[in-house]
């Protein structure tokens, strides 16, 4: 048996993936809301078809409607190797898109989001698999894989600033960055004595987010102290990397998460 997991039709949102022998790999807030109209704080929210306030800067709800929608479950089964596979679909009229989402839970976690333009005009959209990862102490983790990447700093005091990553990423204050990167990111967590690797395909943006103390205290569905227990390493295509699809065209974003003891 590979372990345990849980997914909700609401947002097609995976909230638990616990491979045997490890503490849960996904962070879920103890204050998460499970109700219509709310996004679930934790797990893997699907950000679609816009990120934040979108390309125009005035879109609501934040991060798009997909994480607030009830997705249709189209398949669930265990494959020959014992991995659990779940598939969901969601269609929207504005913009005209269909999203197919496949989750494979096993010793590794695979999530695959395919978006198809079902209309008769080109569509430009943003997307992200907003993975909340559980860590022992965010102030002690190191994120490798982003050295040299350019990023947009969304937490800079004077507003948005572009910068270049030097070395590993560590969390010593609020971090909210959109990296231009297709690379895998490894989270080295000495407190839980494990590493989590997030690798991806079809993604030109990596978003790293930790709200730190002040923002955590301001979030109603997040414990004041929970910022220490999580980091989001999100894989997507946002802002300049938004995806354009002509009618009938599809795009697939895929994320693979694997975990192992620190020495692996």
234 forms part of the interface with ligand BG6 (CB under 6 A): yes
- Minimum distance, C-beta of residue 211 to ligand BG6, in the bound complex (Å): 7
Q: Please choose, from the candidates 97, 129, 113, 127, the residue with its C-alpha nearest in 3D space to the C-alpha of residue 247.
A: 97
Under a CB-based contact definition with an 8 Å cutoff, are residues 183 and 148 in contact? no
- Minimum distance, C-beta of residue 20 to ligand BG6, in the bound complex (Å): 30
- Minimum distance, C-beta of residue 163 to ligand BG6, in the bound complex (Å): 15
Lay out the site mask for ligand BG6 across 184-223 (x = CB under 6 A, - = otherwise).
-----------------------x-x--------------
Under a CB-based contact definition with an 8 Å cutoff, are residues 24 and 220 in contact? no
Q: Please choose, from the candidates 179, 249, 238, 166, the residue with its C-alpha nearest in 3D space to the C-alpha of residue 207.
A: 179
Residues 6+ apart with CB under 8 A from 85: 75, 76, 77, 78, 79, 102, 103, 104, 105
Q: Which is nearer to ligand BG6, 85 or 174 (CB)?
A: 174
127 forms part of the interface with ligand BG6 (CB under 6 A): no
Burial of 190 (0-12, 13-18, 19+ CB in 10 A): middle
62 forms part of the interface with ligand BG6 (CB under 6 A): yes
55 forms part of the interface with ligand BG6 (CB under 6 A): no
Q: Which is nearer to ligand BG6, 139 or 154 (CB)?
A: 154
Distance CA 29, CA 26 (A): 10
Binding site for ligand BG6 (CB under 6 A): 39, 52, 62-63, 130, 154, 176, 207, 209, 234
């Amino acid at each position: 048996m590979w372990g345990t997991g849980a997914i909700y039709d609401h947002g097609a949102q995976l909230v638990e993936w616990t491979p045997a022998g490890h503490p849960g790999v996904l962070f879920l807030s103890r204050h998460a809301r499970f109700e219509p109209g709310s996004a679930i704080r934790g797990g893997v929210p699907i950000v679609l078809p816009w990120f934040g306030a979108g390309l125009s800067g005035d879109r609501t709800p934040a991060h798009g409607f997909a994480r607030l929608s009830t997705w249709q479950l189209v398949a669930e089964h265990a494959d020959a190797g014992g991995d659990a596979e779940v598939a969901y679909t969601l269609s929207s009229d504005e913009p005209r898109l269909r999203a197919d989402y496949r989750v494979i839970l096993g010793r590794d976690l695979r999530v695959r989001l395919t978006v198809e333009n079902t209309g008769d005009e080109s569509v430009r959209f943003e997307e992200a698999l907003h993975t909340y990862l559980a860590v022992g102490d965010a102030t002690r983790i190191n994120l490798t894989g982003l050295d040299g990447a350019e990023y947009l700093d969304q937490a800079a005091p004077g507003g948005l600033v572009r910068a270049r990553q030097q070395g590993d990423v560590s969390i010593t204050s609020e971090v909210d960055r959109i990296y231009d990167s297709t690379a895998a990111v490894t989270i080295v967590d000495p407190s839980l004595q494990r590493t989590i690797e997030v690798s991806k395909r079809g993604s030109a943006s990596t978003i790293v987010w930790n709200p730190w103390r002040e923002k955590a205290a301001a979030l109603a569905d997040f414990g004041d102290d929970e910022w220490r227990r999580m980091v989001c390493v999100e894989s997507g295509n946002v802002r300049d990397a938004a995806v354009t699809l002509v009618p009938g065209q599809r795009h697939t974003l895929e994320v693979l998460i694997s975990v192992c003891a620190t020495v692996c």
